[in-house]
Amino acid sequence: MSITDRFLKYVSFCTTSDDSTRMTPSTPGQMEFARFLVEELKQIGLQEVTLSDYGYVMATLPATTQEAKPVVGFIAHMDTSPDASGKNIHPSIKIAEDGPYKGQELIVTDGTTLLGADDKAGIAEIVCAMEYFIQHPELKHGKVRIAFTPDEEIGQGADHFDVQTFGADFAYTMDGGEIGELQYENFNAAAVTVTIHGVNVHPGSAYHKMINSMRIAYQFAVMLPRWQTPEHTQDYEGFYHLTHMSGTVEETTLHYIIRDHDAHLFESKKRELEHLVHKVNREYGEGTAEIAIRDQYYNMREKIEPVMWIVDLAQKAMREAGVEPKIKPIRGGTDGATLSYKGLPCPNIFAGGENFHSRFEFIPIPSMEKATEVIKKIITML
């Protein structure tokens, strides 16, 4: 099966994750997709194909040599971002008329949903590479493990990942963006909920009685540094991002994510939010504002630097595949960040798509083909 056909089949599954369900996987569509992948992996000839109760798919490409080689893993996630609809995706193929992909076939959306290249392109690339080796048993290589995870987009993709069962010495997530991306640094990340409690009385008799939680919430939001937001930061600059706000006079909730590559700046952002909550409480009374902070993942650089040869290997594989590596920090996170802290060093390689999490998402078909080639090169170069 061509990588295009495989990818188009994958995006027909609605796998949007949802951090409000408190389940893993967080949505039933992910488990449906996982079951489909299990059957596909068995059909193409992989061994030790498993599906956990938490929706983690794992499989083995057996070694074709008796020579001792490290076990490499390749990982991608099955869910898509809740930032845009992932239901009833209607992709089409167009020829790029200009830009860096001029003349290439692009898979695009119809403009009403995201595409799902993040990260179903990564899954398609891994499966196509595994199928290639199954069909070419004469190629000598060591044991390869693959895994597809749920709920990466809500920061829970590696929560129930059993590193020991996976059994790889190191791995790569195929979850990067444009062709050539190679990443071993990512944000430190936390989710923050600020709850403002108010007092609601009839507005006609509200003098010195009403406390409007929505107005206080607005006051809280504007106290944060206006230039430390996603739209004003780049490269290694961190941010506060207000992702959702809802409420009434009586209670308003603000949901933030905070991000920073630097661990000290990351902690200072948490302290600043706590300081502002204390400031609100000093003005309006203790208990008016409450804050809950939950760390999501940390910068994997600390865990990758002692084994930088795996980054060097990926660079060499890219060049062998005719791709120039573009090493830059991830302004986000991958399962590999958490997995690196669980003892599985896991840099991130491009999947090829662009404009992730939006209805303008697209992926050039040649980029998917090159990503597949990079996987094959890594396996044969070990």
Q: Which among 150, 252, 240 has a CA at the least distance from the CA of 199?
A: 252
Q: Which CA distances in Å does 221 have to 166, 244, 254?
A: 43, 11, 8
What does 106-147 look like in DSSP terms, one character per residue? EEE--SSS---HHHHHHHHHHHHHHHHHHH-TTS----EEEE
Q: Give the DSSP H or E segment for 175.
A: strand 170-176
Q: Which among 306, 322, 316 has a CA at the least distance from the CA of 382?
A: 316
Per the rule left: phi > 0, alpha: psi between -120 and 50, beta: everything else, 341 is alpha
Residue 113 CA to chain centroid, in angstroms? 18
Unique residue bearing structure tokens 């990443």: 183
Q: Could you confirm whether 79 is annotated as catalytic? A: yes
Unique residue bearing structure tokens 């390689």: 349
Tokens read off for 164: 């020991």
Unique residue bearing structure tokens 């939001």: 221
Q: How far apart are CA 359 and CA 117, in angstroms?
A: 11
Q: Which among 139, 56, 270 has a CA at the least distance from the CA of 278?
A: 270
Q: Which CA distances in Å does 375 have to 58, 154, 342?
A: 17, 26, 23
Choose, from 125, 152, 175, 354, the residue flagged as catalytic.
152
Q: How far apart are CA 9 and CA 330, in angstroms?
A: 28
In sign, the C-alpha dihedral spanning 101, 107, 112, 117 is negative
Q: Could you confirm whether 152 is annotated as catalytic? A: yes
Burial class (CB in 10 A: 0-12, 13-18, 19+), 150: buried
Unique residue bearing structure tokens 């865990």: 303
Tokens read off for 8: 């188009």
Which residues are annotated as catalytic? 79, 152
